[in-house]
Structure 1
């Protein structure tokens, strides 16, 4: 187990990609703090499943959009699991709308969670990582941060901010032995993007993906696990696409 003895905090870890990441890290030996904001039941079920498989895990409530919550989540992870080595910034929301119809809250709430959460949680763990001279941050971004798509301006802008932050944070923290990378999933069937991956819309989008399929959350999680582990020890500031080749193609940016 390549992550034996490591401790990971995964934000938005109760469902979707986050839950798959928690399972992948735990299967590779890491103790996992499963962060959730409202989904207490699924978070505790995931903790039980990890423990039944012989791993260590704890469910930790907190809103990543709040700096105080982020600091408390990091402190509680260190206290309850005995340390902190890996941060996976996965928590995110979507408020899809055309710019013409988009309200201020649609834009601001998306930025607060998707980018604000990455900033707050990274800042919360940096003192600990710097003091121990090591640490890994993996940001779950999106290919939307590098391309345009109709109805996604707020979401794409938030993920573009995450990508830029990943590069800058990698530069600032490398001298402390800290690595910072990002995974950019394409379309992966989760509750967050159910409107884009189901029905006729989903069939239309699949035709625009060179591999002609959506990416299972488990495959996204395996790339996160790779970036968190020793195999990627010489990688920092990288944005890794996991999208079935979607970003290689020219499309209309619509279903």
Structure 2
């Protein structure tokens, strides 16, 4: 029987690439989205991948959403925590709401999805969780204390949960992308984008498909000996 995978924020950008790559591996993929039902329907029409709407930062909504997915498609074996938002500002201009919303969704979403799926994975003796971190969670970034803190928290969350799952056949890993050629990055002005690319040793932006291929490996049977790791996929921009 095909394994069931949830990809949060799975209908666009990196999430869309991950959803498509997992589908190509024979997974039953459900792409979570937050709010735009019309775009989600267009995604399903284009890809044939089912969608599920719930706020990943809302604990009760996640529990209900995952339960509905499990009832319709089967128990969830793979979770990719990709959903995230930005509310950028320097600290003295950042509101508490800006801080809280980023932490609630980016980091809280990882907890909520794990809480809804990890116990079942543990009981069944197999599971894969991949959390999408960020180069800015590793190196920091001016004007992003909220985002950097949330993404850094994801990396710590990954290492801790991996220790809980290891002996039960559940792996927990993270991928920390650098600057990827998505709509979000495309919105950056050309002069700023040129400066960003100039700092990337390979001399280009990453592609969403490259991140997706990393997820495919980590969620595969072949990835069973990798857990608690954060794989940096940033073109050499940050090495440590």
TM-score range, shorter chain: over 0.9
Match of 1:30 in 2: 27
Aligned partner (choices 12, 22, 25) of residue 15 of structure 1 = 12
More deviation in 166-175 or 4-13? 4-13
Pick from 208, 214, 217: which aligns with 2:208? Answer: 217
Distance in 2, matches of 1:190 and 1:95, equals: 18
Corresponding residue for residue 195 of structure 2: 204
Matched, 1:43 2:34: no
1:133 is the counterpart of 2:130? no
Q: Deviations over 1:112-144 (max 9, x none)?
A: 000000111111101221221111000011111
Q: Aligned partners of 2:140, 2:187: CA distance in 1, in Å?
A: 17
TM-score normalized by structure 1?
0.90
Q: Could you say which residue in structure 2 is the equivalent of 1:227?
A: 218
What pairs with 1:1-255 in structure 2 (closer than 5 Å)? 5-51=2-48, 57-196=49-188, 198-248=189-239
The number of residues matched between the two structures is 240
Confirm or deny: 8 A CA contact 1:94 1:192 kept in the other structure. Answer: no
User: 1:49, 1:195 → 2: CA distance?
Assistant: 24
**Secondary structure class of the residue paired with 2:228:** coil
In terms of mean alpha carbon deviation, does 226-235 or 17-26 score higher? Answer: 226-235
Distance change (3 Å), C-alpha of 1:200 and 1:97: same
1:39 Cα deviation after fit: 2.3
What secondary structure does 1:160 align onto?
Answer: helix
Q: Which runs of 4+ in 1 moved over 6 A?
A: none
Which runs of 5 or more structure 1 residues have no equivalent in the other structure? 52-56, 250-255
Q: Is the 8 A contact 2:169 2:224 kept in 1?
A: no
SS in 2 for 1:14: coil
Deviations 1:91-110 (A, max 9, x none): 00011111121111111110
TM-score after normalising by structure 2 = 0.95
CA RMSD of aligned residues (A): 1.5
